[in-house]
Every structure is written in structure tokens, then in C-alpha cells.
């Protein structure tokens, strides 16, 4: 049986919003930006709606627990309710928008194209963004959450699926990204094997 929410004063509510949740607003924006296929207007709407819901339900949040995971779970639910269920996914095909967004970059991948290892921001060239958008949502969302630093158990809570499913979807998303980006990897100076895998130093992928 769930405990009754703790009643908060306006001052306590504002403090929690500012100290606990606002530090993650850039992370949330980046995540939602990818979910909307890089649409900045839709992203802004989703961020605002997410924080409105946080404000309304902040009394149900237990301080000391994972605030970022709680925030992302609300953000993901807002996205699903607003776009995925009615199939009205906003799409921005303008690559200039991608380039101008503060969370994207055309830097060379610093540690090889390994989609469970490479730093998040270093991966977001136009080619990588396009490859991400080719993934089925159930694979893309898992990969994005992992790149945001969430652990398997945390992703399972956000996605409302078993932890084993998180692991299998992450593995599948990584495989598909490698397949999609084989030619891009060659252009960027990485060696590719005959099976379409991407390697960092010309060695065969042991996986």
C-alpha cells in the first residue's frame, strides 16, 4: 500500500524543483530532442509539460531517491501521451537545425564507434543522428537512456520492462547502429570487417 504524499509548503516545493530537478534539465532536453527526431519546438513543449507535471506531483517524490530517473520517466510518459500514441511524431528534416542545436557536434568519435562506450555528445554527427532515427523506438530509447548514464535497473524502471529486456534491446540497438554506420565509420577513418562490424584499430570484433 502506497504511503500518502507528504504535504509541502510552497517554499519546500520550489526548493525541491530548483535543487533536485532543474540540474537535470539539459539532460532531459537532450533526451527529448532525440525522441522528437531533433525537433527543437516539440522538445521545448515537452520539457515545459514535463516540469508542469513534476510540479503537480512533486509531493509524491521521495528525496534521496533517483531524481533523474523519476524526471525522465515523467518526460518519457509525456512524450508517449503527446506524440507516439496518436502517431503525430514531429519530424525536422533540416540538418542545419541539428547542427545548430547545442547538444550536437560533428567531432570525430573519440573511442571508436561503440554505442555502449563512446561519450554521448561526441557521437551526434548528422550521420549518427540519421542512424538513430532508423532504429525502432524500443531500441532507440534504450540506447539513449544508456548513453545518458542510466544503469540497466534504472532503465527498466523508466521503460517499465524487465531488466533482461533492457540488456537484450541495448545489445540489439548497438548491433543495428554498427550496421547502419559501417560506411560512415570508414569515412571517419575506422576499419570495418566483412560482416559489417566496426572496429577501432583494424582488429576483428571479438563479440
Give pLDDT tens digits for 93-110. 333 333 333 333 333 322
Q: Which of 69, 94, 119 is the last residue of a domain?
A: 94
Is the CB of residue 92 less than 8 Å from the CB of residue 129? no
**Total domains present in the chain:** 2
Residues 84 and 36 in one domain: yes
Same domain flag for 43 and 83: yes
Instruction: Look up cell 560506411; give the residue.
Output: 183
Looking at the domain assignment, is residue 205 inside a domain? yes
Name the residue range of residue 51's domain: 1-94
Q: What is the pLDDT of residue 120?
A: 45
Instruction: Give the domain CATH number at 117.
Output: 1.10.10.10
C-alpha distances in angstroms, 63 versus 12, 49, 66, 70?
A: 12, 22, 8, 11
Same domain, yes or no: 5 and 32: yes
- Check whether residue 147 and residue 194 sit in a common domain: yes
Please calculate the CA angle 50-54-55 and round it to the nearest 5 degrees.
120
As given in the structure block, the three cell numbers for residue 206 are: 571479438
Q: What is the pTM of this model?
A: 0.69
Same domain membership, residue 57 and residue 151 = no
Note whether residue 145 is domain-resident: yes
The sign of the torsion formed by the CA atoms of 156, 162, 167, 171 equals negative
> Residue 140 contacts by C-beta under 8 Å, 6 or more apart in sequence?
34, 35, 132, 133, 173
The verdict on 159 and 202 lying in the same domain is yes
- In whole angstroms, what is the distance from residue 46 CA to residue 121 CA? 21
Least confident of 2-11, 46-55, 83-92, 112-121: 112-121
Question: Is position 99 within any domain?
Answer: no
CA angle 83, 105, 172 (to 5 degrees): 55
129 within some domain: yes
Is residue 201's pLDDT more than 50?
Answer: no
**Residues 204 and 127 grouped into a single domain:** yes
Q: Are residues 49 and 14 in the same domain?
A: yes
Average pLDDT over residues 103-128: 44
Residue 9 clears pLDDT 90, i.e. is over it:
no
Amino acid at each position: 500500500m502506497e504511503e500518502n504524499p507528504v504535504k509541502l509548503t510552497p517554499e519546500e516545493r520550489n526548493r525541491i524543483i530548483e535543487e533536485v530537478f532543474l540540474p537535470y534539465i539539459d539532460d532531459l532536453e537532450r533526451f527529448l530532442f532525440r525522441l522528437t527526431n531533433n525537433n527543437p519546438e516539440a522538445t521545448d513543449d515537452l520539457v515545459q509539460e514535463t516540469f508542469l507535471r513534476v510540479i503537480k506531483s512533486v509531493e509524491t517524490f521521495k528525496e534521496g531517491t533517483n531524481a533523474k530517473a523519476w524526471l525522465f520517466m515523467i518526460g518519457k510518459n509525456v512524450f508517449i501521451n503527446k506524440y507516439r500514441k496518436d502517431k503525430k511524431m514531429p519530424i525536422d528534416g533540416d540538418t542545419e537545425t541539428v547542427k545548430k542545436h547545442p547538444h550536437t557536434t560533428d567531432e570525430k568519435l573519440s573511442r571508436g564507434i561503440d554505442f555502449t562506450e563512446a561519450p554521448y555528445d561526441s557521437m551526434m554527427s548528422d550521420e549518427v543522428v540519421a542512424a538513430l532515427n532508423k532504429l525502432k523506438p524500443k531500441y532507440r530509447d534504450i540506447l539513449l537512456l544508456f548513453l545518458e548514464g542510466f544503469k540497466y535497473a534504472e532503465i527498466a524502471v523508466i521503460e517499465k520492462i524487465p531488466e533482461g529486456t533492457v540488456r537484450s534491446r541495448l545489445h540489439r540497438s548497438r548491433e543495428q547502429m554498427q550496421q547502419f554506420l559501417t560506411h560512415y565509420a570508414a569515412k571517419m577513418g575506422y576499419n570495418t570487417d566483412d560482416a559489417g562490424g566496426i572496429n577501432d584499430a583494424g582488429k576483428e570484433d571479438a563479440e
